[in-house]
Structure formats: C-alpha cells, structure tokens
Amino acid sequence: MSSITSPHPQALPASLRSSGSSSSSSSVHEADTVTPQQNLKRPRLLSRKSSGTIIVPREARTEMNDEDEDFDEDDARAMSPRRSSQDLEKMGQEARAHLDAHAKTLQKSLLEIFNRIEAVKEEHDKLDNNNKFLQKYIGDLMSTSKITSTGGSGGGRKR
C-alpha cells in the first residue's frame, strides 16, 4: 500500500501518518484506523441545571410622604425633585416667555442686519455711479488731450 499524503498531516490519525506499511499488516492496520467521521464528532456537553426562578419575599409596603425624604445636597435625588403640575405649568410659561424674548431679540438683530445691508448696497451703487462718471470724464480728457496734442504739433510743422 502506498503512503497517504495529506496537506495537513495532523488531520490524519497517527496510524495513517506512517510512511510505509506492508500488505501483511493491512488487516491489523485497518482495524486500528479511525474513520474521519468518528474523529470529527464533538464531545458531549454536560447538561446544565436550571437556575430556577428568583423568589423575592414580600414585604409590607411603606408609604412615604414628600416631607419624609431628606437628602444631602450632593445626593442626585435632591437635585431632581418631583414637580407638581402647577410647577410644570409655571416652568412651561417661563420657558415660552424666554423663547419669545429670544425670538424678538433675534428678529430685531436680523432687521438691523438687513438695514445695514441695504445701506451698504446704496453706498456701493453711489460709488459705482461716481466711478463710471470719473472713468468717462478721464476718457474724455484723454481724447481731448490727444486731439489738442496732435493738432497743435501738426500745425507747427506746416509753417
């Protein structure tokens, strides 16, 4: 029997990993071999015991009033007291009033910004018109200076 080659020799049983075997020991060799199906079985898991239900003993309920609770200043429960509906309504009205005042302030500043933009646009238009006027004036001066310079020197040569 020829030797069995496998890309992973550790996957084969030790009896199959041997390099040579004779035909006389083949019956003994076959009895010792483990089939790959038997080798791949998972070990059985031990059965777990149920943890059961958690039993909590009943205790008598004690009702507490808001005045009964005293907490330190650093205690989180003292920092977030329970509020009544009147307190919540009052807080809601204060928040609305604060938001209204903030909205009015923002609208006022927006109107001021808009007015400033309009003033800047007017100044820009004024400067643009003045710039165009000056460019035209300079252009007219240049053309008249060319006419006078060519006319005056040309007349002097002809004499």
| Cα–Cα distance, 86 to 92 (Å, whole number) | 10
Q: Do 3 and 20 contact (CB within 8 A), yes or no? A: yes
| Cα–Cα distance, 13 to 35 (Å, whole number) | 9
Q: Quick one: DSSP state of residue 40?
A: T
In this predicted structure, the answer to whether residue 97 has a pLDDT above a threshold of 80 is: yes
| Beta strand residue intervals within 21-86, DSSP E | none
Q: What is the pTM of this model?
A: 0.37
- Between 59 and 157, where is the model more confident? 59
| Cα–Cα distance, 112 to 118 (Å, whole number) | 10
At 16-45, the pLDDT tens digits run 555 444 444 445 555 555 555 666 766 666
At 136-158, the pLDDT tens digits run 999 999 999 888 887 655 554 44
